[in-house]
Amino acid sequence: MGKQAKTKTHVLMVCVDNIYRSPIAEAVMRKSFAKLGLQNHWHVDSAAIESWHLGDKPDPRALGVLSKHGIEYQNCARLLVSDDFKKFDYIFGMDQSDMASLRQLIPSYSNTKLLLLSDFLFTLQPRERLIEDPHYNMGEAPFEKIFDQCSHACLNFLKQARLNEIWI
């Protein structure tokens, strides 16, 4: 039996804990698929580099910001596994530390493209591009900023990906 054609492009959002930035990025990417009519051709998930919060829901502030923007989120934190490097076409890190970890973990056989989500924030000023870990911050404001950054980055990525303009 021949190899079946892949029907969807798979995207994975990764951060340290999978309870702050990557769930927001996952939810925003899913919303971006729908906005561009791509929901039947693209799939998104998120994962953690570390195992501290496995099975936990995202931080209540992250869920609050998503809810405020009309987005429901039901997934729980999961750990990045070696099969993710086979399944996903694109794996996004949220910051340089995430990217360093991903580069150490990626198997030599993988064809996935490792990308930094903030590289797609070219419409924002450089000081607004860092998608910071809000772990030690108070209130929802840092989560709202992450939501805005992800909104810009996800749409910019999808526009470039649809034009086959993703180079690494």
Give the active site residues: 15, 21, 133
Q: Which string of b and e fits 23-39 if b means at least 16 CB within 10 Å?
A: bbbbbbbbbbbeeeebe
Local structure of residue 58 (DSSP, 8 states): P
Q: Which of 168, 153, 165, 159 is nearest to 26 (CA)?
A: 153
Residue 109, burial from CB neighbour count under 10 angstroms (0-12, 13-18, 19+): exposed
Report d(CA 46, CA 157) in Å as an integer.
Answer: 16
Let me know how long the chain is: 168
